[in-house]
Amino acid sequence: MANLTLRDARKTYGVLEVIKGIDLDVEDREFVVFVGPSGCGKSTLLRMIAGLEKINSGDLVIDGTRSNDIDPSQRGLAMVFQSYALYPHMTVAENMGFALRIAGIPLAERDQKVKDAAQILELSHLLDRRPKDLSGGQRQRVAIGRAIVRNPKIFLFDEPLSNLDAALRVNMRLELMRLHERLAATMIYVTHDQIEAMTMADKIVVLNSGRIEQVGSPLELYNRPANIFVAGFIGSPK
Ligand code: ADP
Ligand code: MG
């Protein structure tokens, strides 16, 4: 089980309110995409869920537990960043196993988890390399592998493909969708790319200036956009 609820969640930087009362339900195993223009609050909202930003008011509930004040490492989540954030001095295997080492998981168990994830991501032949000797797509896979080994209930992705070229991005989209099927995990995926949202999502959350404009399936948003903003952003007639 991995469901998540936000109720009237707000975030303020100084006097600037950037997340202005978000209500959202994410179901178990759903692939939910947050989409919206640059600066609308996508990353902030994801970081609030991850526990990297404090929620100023409102509730975050994960699997029935109010989680506003639960330590990020205890939330059962794993986040994949746009920048990959790999350790340059570590091999692929060491990068993937690092969080497990910190968590005190024994070496043999760690190695097995890293091997399993590497196989899923077709990284098995690269485990001894360092990040500088990998392509962009391979680095992104390592970043995803680092999340997989932790066996999270919920994966959080913040524009994970935006540093890749167009062709690779299309491939990685398909890979992530296959991964979602295979792991049967809940995934929340942030992008500013409407096509990515429309092709990948079970449920799209359209954000604008810290508020939700509409939540729905790609088809619902396309056929019945709630307003001009959604119609314009999704590219459908209204
Ligand atoms: P997105 O990911 O959709 O591009 P962000 O969540 O990064 O948007 O940012 C939302 C808004 O919050 C922006 O106006 C941004 O300038 C502001 N913001 C983000 N982080 C901070 C911060 N640490 N301090 C002040 N303002 C911030
Ligand atoms: Mg962002």
Question: DSSP letter string over 1-53?
Answer: ---EEEEEEEEEETTEEEEEEEEEEE-TT-EEEEE-STTSSHHHHHHHHHTSS
CA distances from 78 to 108, 110, 171 (A): 22, 16, 22
Would you state the pLDDT for residue 165? 87
Assess contact for 4 and 27: CB atoms under 8 A: no
153 pLDDT higher than 70: yes
Distance 97 CA to ligand 2 centre (A): 26
Nearest ligand 1 atom to alpha carbon 210: 10
Q: pLDDT for 165-179, tens place per residue?
A: 888 899 899 999 999
- Please state the rounded mean pLDDT for residues 79-108: 92
Would you state the pLDDT for residue 196? 94
Average pLDDT, the chain: 94
**What is the arrangement of strands in the sheet containing 186-191, beginning at the earlier edge strand?**
77-80, 154-158, 186-191, 31-35, 203-208, 211-216
Residue 199 burial (CB count, 10 A): 14
Give the pocket of ligand 1 (CB within 6 Å).
13, 18, 36, 38-44
- Please state the rounded mean pLDDT for residues 30-53: 97
Distance 62 CA to ligand 2 centre (A): 22
- Dihedral angle over CA of 237, 27, 202, 232, nearest 10: 20
Would you state the pLDDT for residue 85? 86
CA distances from 15 to 12, 19, 37, 48, 133 (A): 7, 12, 22, 18, 45
| Nearest C-alpha neighbor of 18 from the set 1, 52, 43, 51 | 43
1 pLDDT higher than 80: no
Would you state the pLDDT for residue 208? 97
pLDDT band (50, 70, 90) for residue 163: confident
74 pLDDT higher than 70: yes
Nearest ligand 1 atom to alpha carbon 44: 6
Nearest ligand 1 atom to alpha carbon 192: 3
Q: What is the ipTM of this complex?
A: 0.98
Residue 44 sits at φ, ψ, to 5 deg, of -60, -45
Distance 190 CA to ligand 2 centre (A): 8
Q: Which two tokens stand for residue 185?
A: 């995990």
Q: Cα separation of 82 and 144, whole Å? A: 11
Would you state the pLDDT for residue 108? 95
Q: pLDDT for 166-223, tens place per residue?
A: 888 998 999 999 999 999 999 999 999 999 999 999 999 999 999 999 999 999 999 9
What is residue 64's DSSP assignment?
T
Q: Cα separation of 78 and 146, whole Å? A: 9
Report the DSSP pairing between strands 203-208 and 211-216.
antiparallel
Secondary structure (3-state) at 80? strand
Q: pLDDT for 101-129, tens place per residue?
A: 998 999 999 999 999 999 999 999 999 99
Assess contact for 19 and 125: CB atoms under 8 A: no
pLDDT band (50, 70, 90) for residue 146: very high
Distance 208 CA to ligand 2 centre (A): 13
Q: Whose CA is nearest to atom 6 of ligand 1?
A: 41
